Amino acid sequence: MDATIYNVNMETLTDRQTSPLQGQRILLGISGGIAAYKTVDLARKLAQAGTQVRCVLTEGATHFVSATALQAVTGVAVRHSLWDEAAEAAMSHIELARWADTLLIAPATADVMARLAHGMANDLLTTLVLATQAKICIAPAMNGQMWRHAATQANLGLLQQRGIEVLMPESGSLACGEVDTGRMPEPASIVDWLAGLAVPPLWQGKKVLITAGPTVEDIDPVRFIANRSSGKMGYALAQAAREMGAEVCLISGPTQLTPPTGVTFVAVRSAREMFDAVQAHFVGTDLMLAAAAVADYRVEQIAEQKLKKQGEQSLTLTLVQNPDIVAWAAAQPNRGKVIAFAAETENLITHAQAKLQRKGVDAVLANSVADGAGFDQAQNQLFLVSTQGVHEFPLTHKSYLAQQVLSHLASTYS
């Protein structure tokens, strides 16, 4: 089985009420690179995500991170030697190898990668790699030239061929003072990556189209009309769909968010631009999640120059309707499932049921935005309204909520 190489930048799972990592046993192997200083926080975040964590240090790692600190955040003694007489009297390294669900090596230095690639077992960590049947994951970190060296890349290829999961190093400022590729991703990103590996591929081989964020309708060169939306829910859905194996197209209005890695991303501004993008990417879609806050109206005539205040006189703008993107998608022949979103300030379920009938969609995901709830927040609560009834998704972090929604839709529609 080929390994997958990931490069991630996403919201952290450690803030979720429940994580796909809940109950997982993680054996954290730490090798001797400067990035080892991050592993105390990494162990803490893994524990916050509901995992059991045990740590193993190489000899080099003991110069960068304290076993005492790691024990303090995990509650378990740290191992660093095959020659620990008390532990090895009962073949403790074999017990460790069998205990783990996942063996994560972070950071993985060039030296450790070379020894793993060639099957060496000359310390506790490399011995555990050979002795375990657990999933093995590595997060390489090193100087940029070392990373690009032909030997390192050849070793990486061997590890990939054996099914080892690899989290690619990031670009940035390195310990040597250079700006290059070789940084180990931040602990939160590593936890999210592991969580993504734990999500069942419920949408494998499916095409998912997601709209997100607000649309912006210009009045003049400096003013516009827009709906409130951070885009967080739509981006979380795109990330979760990708984690579940889908081919994802994310069409987004202006946000401050970084698109998830591995999705087709289309940036738009206005409702008409979003409509054009949806039409261009809709064919073959198995599931459309219309999470964008699309402006219902636009200014009939955009002023070429900035409008000036006219004394005490009021300003009248003539507005015309924008295309109804969701209704268009729902009316297409031989389409996949189309799920609309409804943000309401009152009568949430009643308005969602009316939207369900009016738009001709398969279901509506509704949330209350009374008193600003849901806007720019990390958490959200949704109700799935369909002809079968109402299904509630309780208040939780949007990233985990997205996984719940897609898991439910997979069981219902896929």
Tell me the per-residue pLDDT of 279-288, one tens digit each, with 9 for 90 and over: 999 999 999 9
Both 243 and 169 in one domain: the answer is: no
Separation of CA 364 from chain center: 23
Q: Are the C-beta atoms of residues 252 and 213 closer than 8 Å to each other?
A: yes
Query: Smallest Cα–Cα separation from 249: which of 258, 193, 260, 257?
Result: 260
The DSSP 8-state label assigned to residue 362 in this structure reads: S
pLDDT exceeds 90 at position 195? no
Percent of the chain clearing pLDDT 70 (strictly above): 92
Query: What average pLDDT score do residues 25-47 get?
Result: 95
pTM of the model: 0.66
User: DSSP states of 204-231 as a string?
Assistant: TT-EEEEEESB-EEESSSS-EEE----S
Q: Per the domain annotation, does 373 fall within a domain?
A: yes
pLDDT exceeds 50 at position 10? no
200 Cβ contact partners less than 8 Å away, ≥ 6 residues apart: 244, 407
pLDDT at residue 192, as a whole number? 78
Nearest 5°: phi and psi at 118? -105, 15
Q: Per the domain annotation, does 258 fall within a domain?
A: yes
Domain boundary among 142, 164, 198: 198
Domain boundary among 178, 198, 218: 198
Both 274 and 404 in one domain: the answer is: yes
pLDDT at residue 4, as a whole number? 37
pLDDT exceeds 80 at position 127? yes
Examine the residue annotation and report whether 176 is marked as an active-site residue of this protein.
Answer: yes
pLDDT at residue 8, as a whole number? 35
Which of the given ranges, 7-11, 339-343, 366-370, has the highest pLDDT on average? 339-343
Helix (H) or strand (E) holding 356: helix 348-359
Nearest 5°: phi and psi at 381? -130, 135
Tens of pLDDT, residue by residue over 57-92, are 999 999 999 999 999 999 999 998 877 655 554 446
Instruction: Indicate the pLDDT class of residue 369, thresholds 50, 70 and 90.
Output: confident
Per the DSSP assignment, residues forming a β-bridge with 329 are none
Q: Which domain holds residue 137?
A: 5-198
More confident call, 377 vs 316: 316
CATH number at residue 397: 3.40.50.10300
Domain boundary among 159, 178, 198: 198
Both 251 and 174 in one domain: the answer is: no
Both 190 and 213 in one domain: the answer is: no
Q: Per the domain annotation, does 359 fall within a domain?
A: yes
Q: Are the C-beta atoms of residues 58 and 80 closer than 8 Å to each other?
A: yes
Q: What is the mean pLDDT of the chain?
A: 87
Q: Per the domain annotation, does 41 fall within a domain?
A: yes
Position 394, amino acid: P
Nearest 5°: phi and psi at 124? -65, -45
pLDDT at residue 401, as a whole number? 86
Tens of pLDDT, residue by residue over 289-340, are 999 999 989 998 888 888 888 777 788 888 999 999 999 999 999 999 999 9
Instruction: Indicate the pLDDT class of residue 388, thresholds 50, 70 and 90.
Output: very high
More confident call, 147 vs 2: 147
Both 394 and 363 in one domain: the answer is: yes
Both 144 and 232 in one domain: the answer is: no
Both 150 and 282 in one domain: the answer is: no
Both 185 and 292 in one domain: the answer is: no
Q: Per the domain annotation, does 332 fall within a domain?
A: yes
Query: What average pLDDT score do residues 252-278 get?
Result: 92
Q: Per the domain annotation, does 277 fall within a domain?
A: yes
Both 193 and 213 in one domain: the answer is: no
pLDDT exceeds 70 at position 35? yes
Both 43 and 117 in one domain: the answer is: yes
Q: Per the domain annotation, does 308 fall within a domain?
A: no
Which of 152-161, 245-254, 389-398 has the weakest average pLDDT? Answer: 389-398
Distance CA 46, CA 27 (A): 11
pLDDT exceeds 80 at position 107? yes
Distance CA 215, CA 47 (A): 39
Task: Look at the chain and report how many structural domains it folds into.
Answer: 2
pLDDT at residue 396, as a whole number? 79
Both 92 and 213 in one domain: the answer is: no
Both 152 and 285 in one domain: the answer is: no
CATH number at residue 16: 3.40.50.1950
